[in-house]
Amino acid sequence: MSATVDFFFSFRSPYSYLAGPRAFALEDKYNVKVEFRPIRPMVTRGVPLPMSKKLYILLDAAREAERLGMDFGRIHDPIGDGALRCLYVSEHAKEIGKEREFVLRASRAIWVERTCMVEDKGLRKICDEIGLDWRQCQTALTDERIKKSIEANNARLRELKQWGVPTFHIDGDVFWGQDRIDDLEALLKERSLVKT
């Protein structure tokens, strides 16, 4: 028996960065396929984000990173083109089965290594490191098919009546937040999806 876990992710979300390693590792522990679904940042979807919330997210993510033993803090916020370029390349990486490598490496570059993803230099370095062909990545940046796929992910999240990331969905059950992965795992165990 196996199932699919939709994993909605934004490169602009520090909580998505914190969730990434545990989200992709679900495939190692359970009989599930993790369906990576990158979406546009909240602010580009018309969701207001006041300064108090921005600040809370940043500082809470820093505390949570400490708790999880993850590096965090040398940041280059990818809001705008940086996040979009990562989205497009991540969809391309997904097509060739390298989304896990790209997503984990790119989010680390953003939240730990202060890498500017607007510049080719920053994004290309990540692509080269994980063996993505840079010319194909450049093509992906303007690929209408990939753009449509990202919009479909946004629409799917709305269908689920969800708004934020990281969000996980399995057969009608939805979990929002990097700190709800334990709840998701409890459900996977309940459904006897643990790998033996």
Partner 1 sequence: MGKCAKEYVAKALVPSLLVSASRAKRAARPLIRAVKIMGRPAKAELFIAFDDPYSWVGLDLLEDVLRGRNVDLRIYPVTERGISGDPDREDRLAYSIVDAARIAARHSKTMQRKDPVKPETAAMAARLAESCRGAEMMMEVCLRFLKALWEKNEDLDEADLFCIHREVTGQDASLQTDAMDRRLEQNRELMFKKGHWETPAILVLGQWYFAHERADRIGEWLDRAGWRKQ
Where along the sequence are the contacts to partner 1 (CB under 8 A)?
46-50, 52-53, 55-56, 58-60, 62-63, 67, 72-79, 114, 116, 161-163, 174, 176-177, 179-180, 183
CB of 179 to partner 1, least distance (A): 6
Q: Residue 33, SS3?
A: strand
CB of 68 to partner 1, least distance (A): 12
How far are the Cα atoms of 79, 104, 152, 194 from residue 133, in angstroms, in the given order? 24, 18, 25, 35
Q: Residue 38, SS3?
A: strand
Q: Identify which of residues 95 and 176 has a Cβ nearer to partner 1 in the complex.
A: 176
CB of 73 to partner 1, least distance (A): 4
**CB contact at 8 A, 103 and 142:** no
Please state the φ and ψ torsions of residue 142, each to the nearest 5 degrees: -120, 15
CB of 113 to partner 1, least distance (A): 11
Q: Identify which of residues 48 and 97 has a Cβ nearer to partner 1 in the complex.
A: 48
Q: Identify which of residues 101 and 176 has a Cβ nearer to partner 1 in the complex.
A: 176
Q: What residue type is assigned to position 109 of the chain?
A: A
Q: Identify which of residues 132 and 188 has a Cβ nearer to partner 1 in the complex.
A: 188
Q: Which residue has the tokens 């992965």?
A: 181
